[in-house]
Amino acid sequence: MTGGGGVTRRRWRKVGVALVAGLGLAVWWYLARGPKATLRGGGGPVYTVAFAPDGKTLASGGADGLIRLWDVETFHLRKVLNGGSGFVLRVAFAPDGTRLAATHSEDLKKTWIWDVITGEREAVVPWDERPGWVVWRRNESPDGRLKVTTERTYPLRTLTLVEAATGRKVVTLAGHPDQLNDWAFRPQGDVLATEGGYTDHPWPINAAGDLRLWDVKTGRLLAVCVRHWGAVDGVAFSPDGRLLASACYDGKVRVWDVGKVLGR
């Protein structure tokens, strides 16, 4: 009886060691591949993110109608811009970083321009009079060689990269289980980030979204970031390509270390 009990205890000890090791591995994986920072983007979904050209500021906007400016080094909230009309759907910085443009759900035919330094609204202009730097999404690679094309289907689940000059198909990227919402090229041009999840269900009843990184030359899926508790509706790389921000329907902005996500 004693010998049998000793064997049982040793077995349970091995099980305990294995569980502890497994838990440690899970914690390591979370820290290594999880977001570098998680920012509360306000009440309700966050729809859009954009980095300033110098990479020091991250702007986010969403359902509460506010634009938040975050310090990228500390991830502290630096400033809140208020004065738009309806949800903030898209934001974009001017090349010198001193101004920020936004579009709001209540009037899609207008563009709000903000002075980033003072936090004051500079102007509200008709869409066809917007400054040339106001671009909500860039469909061409940084070197201009590749162009994103999509099928006219709903829900959208795939996109195709073609040669901008010839229209020749290079690769098709497919894999989002629900709906593909936005995409962005890494400044180096080697990686394309796509994100998705259903956005047409009332918040917070949304299928969890995902963020995917692809090799633009081969179409190989490099990584999937699945820490979003809701659809992901906006994505942006930092100017140096080291960080990636995702805007989620769960009311949060997640900032990812691209090198860690890719295991490089």
Q: 107-135 pLDDT, tens per residue? A: 899 999 999 999 999 999 999 999 999 99
The dihedrals phi and psi of 224, each to the nearest 5 degrees, come to -130, 125
229/118 same-domain check: yes
Report the alpha-carbon angle 64-157-235, nearest 5.
40
195/130 same-domain check: yes
pLDDT-based confidence at residue 27 (cuts at 50, 70, 90): very low
Q: Which domain holds residue 184?
A: 34-262
6/96 same-domain check: no
Contact 180, 193 (CB under 8 A): no
High-pLDDT (> 70) share of the chain, %: 83
193/163 same-domain check: yes
d(C-alpha 69, C-alpha 60), whole Å: 7
Q: What is the pLDDT of residue 26?
A: 36
Cβ neighbours of residue 18 under 8 Å, at least 6 residues apart? none
The more confident residue out of 210 and 140 is 140
Residues 21-46: what's their mean pLDDT? 64
73/129 same-domain check: yes
29/106 same-domain check: no
217/156 same-domain check: yes
Cβ neighbours of residue 80 under 8 Å, at least 6 residues apart? 66, 67, 68, 69, 119
Q: Into how many domains does the chain fold?
A: 2
d(C-alpha 101, C-alpha 112), whole Å: 6
147/50 same-domain check: yes
91/121 same-domain check: yes
Among 51, 45, 88, which residue's Cα sits nearest to residue 69? Answer: 51
d(C-alpha 260, C-alpha 264), whole Å: 6
pLDDT-based confidence at residue 11 (cuts at 50, 70, 90): low
pLDDT-based confidence at residue 214 (cuts at 50, 70, 90): very high
- Lowest mean pLDDT segment, chosen from 35-39, 70-74, 203-207, 208-212: 203-207
Sign (positive or negative) of CA dihedral 71, 80, 253, 178: negative
176/207 same-domain check: yes
52/28 same-domain check: no
List pLDDT tens digits, range 94-108.
Answer: 999 999 999 999 889
24/106 same-domain check: no
